[in-house]
Amino acid sequence: MNSPFEDVLILDLTWDLGRYVGRLFGDLGARVVRIEPPGGLPDRRAAKSADATQREPAVYEFEFLNAGKDCLTLELDAQHGRDAFAALAREAKVILVERGGPLYDDVSWIREHAPSAVVTSVSPYGRTGPWADAEANDLTLQAAGGIAWLSGRVTDAPLRLPGVQATMITGVYAATATSLALYDTLATGRGHEVDVSAQECIAHSLQNSIQMWDFERKVSMRGGEGTRDASEDMFACRDGLVFLAAPRSLGVSWNALVGWIEETGHDAAQELTKDRWADRVWRLTAEAKAIFRQTLESFTRDYTQEELTREALKRKIVMGPVAKVAEVLDDPQLRHRGYFEAVELALAGARVDFPGAPYRLSEPVWRLKRAVAGAEQPQPA
Residues 3-22 close enough to bind another protein by CB under 8 A: 3-5
Of residues 80, 90, 218, 280, which one binds another protein by CB under 8 A?
Answer: 218
Find out whether 149 and 124 touch, Cβ atoms under 8 Å.
Answer: no
Stretch that binds another protein, among 244-252, 262-270, 271-279, 288-296 (CB under 8 A): 244-252
Which C-beta is closer to another protein: that of 208 or that of 264? 208
Of residues 86, 100, 104, 222, which one binds another protein by CB under 8 A?
Answer: 222
H or E stretch including 351?
A: strand 351-354
Q: In the range 255-294, which residues lie near another protein by CB under 8 A?
A: none
- Determine the Cα angle at 322 with ends 321 and 325, to 5°: 120
Shortest distance (Å) from residue 377 CB to another protein: 28
The site string for another protein over 106-145 (x = CB under 8 A, - otherwise) reads: -------------------xxxxxxx--xxxx-xxxxxxx
372 sits near another protein (criterion: CB under 8 A): no
Backbone φ, ψ for residue 124 (5° rounding): -60, -45
353 sits near another protein (criterion: CB under 8 A): yes
Shortest distance (Å) from residue 214 CB to another protein: 4
Please state whether 186 falls in left (phi above 0), alpha (psi between -120 and 50) or beta.
Answer: alpha
195 sits near another protein (criterion: CB under 8 A): yes
Shortest distance (Å) from residue 269 CB to another protein: 21
40 sits near another protein (criterion: CB under 8 A): no
Shortest distance (Å) from residue 143 CB to another protein: 4
Find out whether 10 and 34 touch, Cβ atoms under 8 Å.
Answer: no
**Which positions ≥6 away from 76 have C-beta within 8 Å?**
35, 37, 82, 85, 102, 103
3-state secondary structure of 193: strand
174 sits near another protein (criterion: CB under 8 A): yes
326 sits near another protein (criterion: CB under 8 A): yes
309 sits near another protein (criterion: CB under 8 A): yes
State the Cα–Cα distance between residues 133 and 131, nearest whole angstrom: 5
1 sits near another protein (criterion: CB under 8 A): yes
Of residues 11, 41, 242, 261, which one binds another protein by CB under 8 A?
Answer: 242
State the Cα–Cα distance between residues 30 and 32, nearest whole angstrom: 6
Number of neighbouring beta carbons within 10 Å of residue 178: 28
237 sits near another protein (criterion: CB under 8 A): no
Which C-beta is closer to another protein: that of 224 or that of 378? 224
Of residues 189, 265, 358, 380, which one binds another protein by CB under 8 A?
Answer: 358
Stretch that binds another protein, among 80-88, 97-105, 276-284, 326-334 (CB under 8 A): 326-334
AA identity, residue 120: T
Shortest distance (Å) from residue 9 CB to another protein: 15
Closest CA to 17 of 197, 151, 176, 148: 197
Give the torsion sign (CA, 17, 72, 176, 132).
Answer: positive
231 sits near another protein (criterion: CB under 8 A): no
Quote the distance between the C-alpha of residue 272 and its chain's center: 37
DSSP-derived secondary structure letter, 321: E
